C-alpha cells in the first residue's frame, strides 16, 4: 500500500492506541480509567505501557464495577478533567446505564448549563469473533434514544482517530463504540498529528444510483464489498457509513435516498427498535414521495444473544453474500 506523506498505515486498534496516546501526551487533564487499563495495558493492549509513562494517577485500574468507573469519570469531567472511561466489553456496560443515561447525559440540562460533562466512554462491541453471549453484543440502540448523549461507531482507522479526538474535545458525553472484529482486520492510512472529524457527519463511501445502503461498524466493510460485487454486475449502489449514530446525519441520508429512491439499512444489532427503525421512520417522514420501494432493513434476528456455536453465530451475523442478495432484491423491485 502506497502511503501518503504525513500518514501511516494503522489498524483500528492501533488507531485507538495512537489517539489515546496523543491525548495523554498533549493534555494533562486526560485521564484513562477502567478494568485492566493500567498494569495489563487493556485486554487488546491498547494502553500497553501507558501506566509507565503517565503514572497510576492518570491511568487508573479500577475494580470490576462499571457504575463506579463511569460515576467517578463523571465527577472528574464536571470538575474540569478530561476522563476517558473504558468499559472492557460493551456487554458489561449495563451496571453503568444509570450513570450514563441518568447522570452524564443530563448534567448540562440539570445544572442549567453551569456544568458540562466532557466524558468519553469507550467500549469494544460487536460479534463475529466467537465471543458468544457476553462478548458479542451491540448496545447502540439501548442508548440512542437518550437526548444529551452522542454515539459514535467508526469503521476505519482514520475515522477512529478523527472522531475520538472530536469526542475528547466535545464538552458533552460521548459513547465511543469500537467494533472488536475490525480491531486488527481493518487497516488504513491515518494522518499524523491532531485532527478531528465532526460528530454527526456520515461519509458516502461509494456513490451509486440505484440503491442507498446505510450501515456502520464492521458491516460497512461488508456492505462495501457487496456493493463492489454488484458493480461488476452493472448495478450501482451507494454506500453510506453512518460513523455517528447520534447525532444522525439526516441530510446525507435524505439526499442519497432522494437520488436513488430505494433504501436498505444494514446493522448487526437486532431489528426491532434498532438504529434502522429510526432511519426508516425519518426517511418515511421526510422523503416518502421519493421512495420507489419499501424501505428494507437487514439486521440480526430478534433473539436474546449471539450463540457461541459456529452455525448459530453464522446465522446471527450477516455476510457480504447475504448483503448482496438483499441489495439485488431491492434493486430489482
CA gyration radius for the chain? Answer: 20
Give the nearest distance from C-beta 259 to other proteins in angstroms: 11
From 1-9, 64-72, 167-175, 285-293, span contacting other proteins (CB under 8 A): 285-293
Give the nearest distance from C-beta 42 to other proteins in angstroms: 49
Is-catalytic flag, 135? yes
Give the nearest distance from C-beta 279 to other proteins in angstroms: 17
Q: What is the DSSP letter of 167?
A: H
Give the nearest distance from C-beta 329 to other proteins in angstroms: 8
From 62-70, 114-122, 268-276, 284-292, span contacting other proteins (CB under 8 A): 284-292
d(CA 109, CA 53): 37
Rank residues 106 and 261 by Cβ distance to other proteins and give the closer one. Answer: 261
Q: Is 332 in the site for other proteins (CB under 8 A)?
A: yes
One residue of 291, 308, 312, 322 binding other proteins per CB under 8 A: 291
Rank residues 49 and 325 by Cβ distance to other proteins and give the closer one. Answer: 325
Residue among 48, 123, 43, 126 nearest 89 (CA): 123
Catalytic residue among 135, 179, 221, 267: 135
One residue of 185, 293, 305, 312 binding other proteins per CB under 8 A: 293
Q: DSSP letters along 248-303, please?
A: --HHHHHHHHHHH--EEEEEEEESTTSHHHHHHHHHHHHHGGG-SS--EEEEE-S-
Q: How many residues does the chain have?
A: 333
d(CA 254, CA 53): 47
Residue among 188, 133, 129 nearest 7 (CA): 188
16 neighbors 158 (Cβ within 8 angstroms) = no
Q: Is 288 in the site for other proteins (CB under 8 A)?
A: yes
d(CA 149, CA 70): 14
Q: Is 292 in the site for other proteins (CB under 8 A)?
A: yes
Residues 223-262 that bind other proteins (CB under 8 A): 261
Interface with other proteins (CB under 8 A): 261, 288-293, 332-333
Active site residues: 135
Amino acid at each position: 500500500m502506497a502511503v501518503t506523506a504525513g500518514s501511516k498505515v494503522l489498524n483500528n486498534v492501533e488507531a485507538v492506541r495512537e489517539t489515546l496516546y496523543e491525548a495523554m501526551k498533549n493534555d494533562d487533564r486526560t485521564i484513562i480509567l477502567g478494568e485492566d487499563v493500567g498494569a495489563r495495558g487493556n485486554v487488546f493492549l491498547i494502553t500497553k505501557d501507558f501506566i509507565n509513562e503517565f503514572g497510576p494517577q492518570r491511568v487508573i485500574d479500577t475494580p470490576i464495577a462499571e457504575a463506579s468507573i463511569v460515576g467517578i469519570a463523571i465527577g472528574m469531567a464536571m470538575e474540569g478533567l478530561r476522563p476517558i472511561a473504558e468499559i472492557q466489553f460493551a456487554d458489561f456496560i449495563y451496571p453503568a446505564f444509570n450513570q450514563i443515561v441518568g447522570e452524564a447525559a443530563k448534567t448540562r440540562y440539570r445544572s442549567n448549563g453551569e456544568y458540562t460533562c466532557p466524558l468519553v466512554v469507550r467500549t469494544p462491541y460487536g460479534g463475529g469473533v466467537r465471543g458468544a453471549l457476553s462478548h458479542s453484543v451491540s448496545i447502540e440502540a439501548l442508548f440512542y434514544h437518550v437526548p444529551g448523549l452522542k454515539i459514535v461507531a467508526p469503521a476505519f482507522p482514520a475515522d477512529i482517530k478523527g472522531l475520538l479526538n472530536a469526542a475528547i474535545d466535545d464538552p458533552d458525553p460521548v459513547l465511543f463504540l469500537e467494533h472488536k472484529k475490525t480491531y486488527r482486520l481493518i487497516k488504513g492510512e491515518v494522518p499524523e498529528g491532531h485532527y478531528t472529524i465532526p460528530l454527526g457527519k456520515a461519509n458516502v463511501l461509494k456513490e451509486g444510483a440505484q440503491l442507498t445502503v446505510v450501515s456502520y461498524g464492521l458491516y460497512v466493510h461488508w456492505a462495501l464489498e457487496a456493493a463492489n460485487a454488484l458493480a461488476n454486475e452493472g448495478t450501482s449502489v451507494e454506500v453510506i457509513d453512518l460513523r455517528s449514530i447520534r447525532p444522525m446525519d439526516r441530510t446525507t441520508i435524505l439526499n442519497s435516498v432522494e437520488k436513488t429512491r430505494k433504501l436498505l439499512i444494514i446493522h448487526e444489532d437486532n431489528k426491532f427498535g434498532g438504529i434502522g427503525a429510526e432511519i426508516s421512520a425519518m426517511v418515511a417522514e421526510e422523503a416518502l414521495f421519493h421512495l420507489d420501494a419499501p424501505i428494507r432493513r437487514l439486521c440480526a434476528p430478534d433473539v436474546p444473544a449471539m450463540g457461541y456455536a459456529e452455525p448459530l453465530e453464522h446465522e446471527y451475523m450477516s455476510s457480504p453474500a447475504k448483503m448482496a442478495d438483499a441489495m439485488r432484491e431491492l434493486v430489482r423491485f
